[in-house]
Amino acid sequence: MEILKPLSDFFKAIENDYRISITHIGIYVALLQFRVDKGFVNPIQAYRYEIMDIAKISSPKTYYKCMRELNEYGYIKYESTRKRNQGSTIYFPYSLSDLEVKFPK
């Protein structure tokens, strides 16, 4: 099950990461689901409301905080956009092993 590998890798990577909360996990899983729905492409372009709906998060402030932190911690690469007609770009690393994160170009 190649589709489950990114999820499994994520859970292994966060096993000892005290900074990760249930909200981070919910958003990451929502991002993976969105990615699967789009044909498992990398990167994805998504609007905030699309991910918030999947993750069952109602606060934009919480969403932006968790996305920023997932980016800072190296679990994703998040490029926010201020354009209303364009979604933000989210890159997934090729591997989360030992957080030696390598992103697609």
**39-52, pLDDT tens digit by residue?**
999 999 999 999 99
Residue 69 has pLDDT above 70, yes or no: yes
**Which range of residues forms the domain containing residue 84?**
2-99
Give domain status of residue 40, yes or no: yes
Q: Taking residues 31-44, what's their average pLDDT?
A: 94
For the chain, give the mean pLDDT.
89
- CA torsion angle 48 72 78 21 (round to 10): -40
Residue 34: strand, helix, or coil: helix
Place of tokens 């498992």: 40
Give domain status of residue 92, yes or no: yes
Number of domains making up the chain: 1
Q: Taking residues 2-26, what's their average pLDDT?
A: 89
Read off the pTM.
0.87
Domain containing residue 32: CATH number: 1.10.10.10
Residue 104 has pLDDT above 60, yes or no: no
Give domain status of residue 105, yes or no: no
> What's the CA gap between 67 and 88, in Å, rounded?
11
> What's the CA gap between 63 and 11, in Å, rounded?
20
> What's the CA gap between 1 and 66, in Å, rounded?
28
